[in-house]
Amino acid sequence: MGHNWINGEWEQGNGKRLEIKNPATAEIEETVFEADDLQVKKAAESAYLAFSSNSWRYNFKLRKKVLEKAASILEEKAEKVATIESIDTGKPIKEARVDVEDVVHCLRYYAGLIPDSLSKTLKMEDGTESEIKSEPIGVCGLIVPWNFPLLLGVWKLAPALAAGNAVVFKPSELTPMSMIEFTKALIEAGIPDGIFNFVIGGREVGQAIVENPMVKKISFTGSVETGKRIYQRCAEDLKKVSLELGGKSPLIVWNDVDIEKTAEWAVFGALFNQGEVCVAAPRLLLHQDIYDPFKKVLLEKISQVNIGDPLKEGTEFGPLISESHVKKVTAYIEKGLEGGASLLYGGKVLAEKKGYFIEPAVFEEVDQSMEIVQEEIFGPVITLQSFETKEEAVELANGTNYGLAAGIFTESSERGRWIAERLEAGIIWINSYHTPYVDAPWGGVKQSGIGRELGPEGLISFTEYKHVNKSVSIDSLGWYQFKR
């Protein structure tokens, strides 16, 4: 069996051979083959023909049935899929289980949003009647990264399919295995041939999807640099685009908090999924009155984080995704030291372990202009800065090109609201962090992206509006009525 699902059949890719490695052991777990340009073209053509047949786009009951059944199938296979996700990405198994639970919930949520009709009728002042229709866009290209391949994949797939679109889906070439299992669930659930197509590959495959004229929308999650290239290329054909890009999120800690509990949240905010999270909060902004005691507790808690085999129940921190990513993170640590920052903790590669393990790193004495403060490292590198006033906290928090997420910890609801209103971020948590809610929008501002996923907004982003105006009589004067 091949690993690419195109027009209702499994195909072996005609492109280059890929070795899928377990980041915890650096050993090869699976070998797959990328799709080539012709296979991507075939996937787009089959999606276009399946969409054009109207058997999916106008069959609301079928769409609901497929999403609900896929959710049930995945729920039954939850432990198997979570294990695959943990091996594929290096994330602790307990986190992978939560991902699968969230995926099941997401599928059922969007199945529940599928209405019996996507139109409404309005009576206009001139006596005419207008029908406002919400229609699917057509063929959508969905491209997801390696850190949450299953969850982020379904965040796009569920609303795209619920809205009646056909899909060409590309996972990261580093982590395709859990989405292969999800593809099997969709097939078993009865997804029509051609409506969902799955192609494996790297940048070339992604580029082929973006450039295909039959693909009318691109939804991409990944780096700012790649997002900009996609945006520029889509502008040539005026394709619709949704981009969920990088982040360098701040966590603001006021002097009225419980230090022990807030430090736990800070560790979670910065180190969840090894810090390989777009909304991770590696920039800790601490009120000067609690800077020293908070730092002490924070370092104690980081030193107690259990680093190890992601398949073991007690593991809290697994390996990074690849050897090249370890090199990227350690290069940033070196830049921090060269720039004059003080390394308080960690930052060492754990050479005694077989996989791609590294200690979390904590810096202080950092300047706002430093690369470790300004750039998304996408790994476990934390910076500490102090502030005195609300205004200073907001200025530091907003002082990067990113605007995806932010966190605020304070006992004052008024202060929390005041700060939140002034933060340039699409997602803000007050006295918690990281939790996504499927019924609320997710996305960023500035260079963190365009558009929103999740919630009703996520469904709307995969639709077009059509206005059909009907006159009750042909006796009207047309444009002559304006000659007054």
User: In the chain, what are the domains?
Assistant: 4-245+448-468 (3.40.605.10), 250-430 (3.40.309.10)
Give the separation between CA 196 and CA 140, rounded to whole angstroms.
10
Q: Where are the beta strands (DSSP E) in 125-269?
A: 129-136, 139-143, 166-170, 196-198, 215-221, 240-244, 250-253
Q: Which helix (H) or strand (E) holds 244?
A: strand 240-244
Its pTM stands at 0.95
Give the separation between CA 358 and CA 276, rounded to whole angstroms.
13
Helix, strand, or coil here: 382? Answer: strand
Give the separation between CA 419 and CA 105, rounded to whole angstroms.
32
Contact 454, 442 (CB under 8 A): yes
Other residues' Cβ atoms within 10 Å of the Cβ of residue 288: 12
* Catalytic residue ranges: 244
∠ Cα 206 16 85 (to 5°): 65
Which residues sit opposite 197 in a β-bridge?
Answer: 168
Contact 269, 318 (CB under 8 A): no
Give the separation between CA 240 and CA 249, rounded to whole angstroms.
27
pLDDT value, residue 117: 64
pLDDT value, residue 484: 45
Closest listed residue to residue 202, CA positions, set 246, 170, 244: 170
Q: Which residues, other chains included, contact 418 with Cβ-Cβ below 8 Å and sequence gap of 6+?
A: 390
**15 DSSP assignment:** S
Tokens describing residue 190: 């009865």
Helix segments in 431-473, DSSP class H: 455-460
The separation between CA 442 and the C-alpha centre of its own chain, rounded to angstroms, equals 9
Contact 217, 140 (CB under 8 A): yes
pLDDT in tens, the chain (484 residues): 799 999 999 999 999 999 999 999 999 999 999 999 999 999 999 999 999 998 999 999 999 999 999 999 999 999 999 999 999 999 999 999 999 999 999 999 999 999 766 678 999 988 899 999 999 999 999 999 999 999 999 999 999 999 999 999 999 999 999 999 999 999 999 999 999 999 999 999 999 999 999 999 999 999 999 999 999 999 999 999 999 999 999 999 999 999 999 999 999 999 999 999 999 999 999 999 999 999 999 999 999 999 999 999 999 999 999 999 999 999 999 999 999 999 999 999 999 999 999 999 999 999 999 999 999 999 999 999 999 999 999 999 999 999 999 999 999 999 999 999 999 999 999 999 999 999 999 999 999 999 999 999 999 999 999 999 998 777 655 555 555 4
Tokens describing residue 1: 């069996």
pLDDT value, residue 320: 98
Closest listed residue to residue 90, CA positions, set 175, 24, 172, 20: 24
- The amino acid that residue 333 corresponds to is I
pLDDT value, residue 116: 67
pLDDT value, residue 481: 57
Own/partner pairs for 261-265, CB < 8 Å, 24+ apart?
262/294, 262/409, 263/294, 263/297, 263/298, 263/301, 264/301, 265/407, 265/409, 265/431, 265/432, 265/433
pLDDT value, residue 403: 98
pLDDT value, residue 482: 53
pLDDT value, residue 287: 98
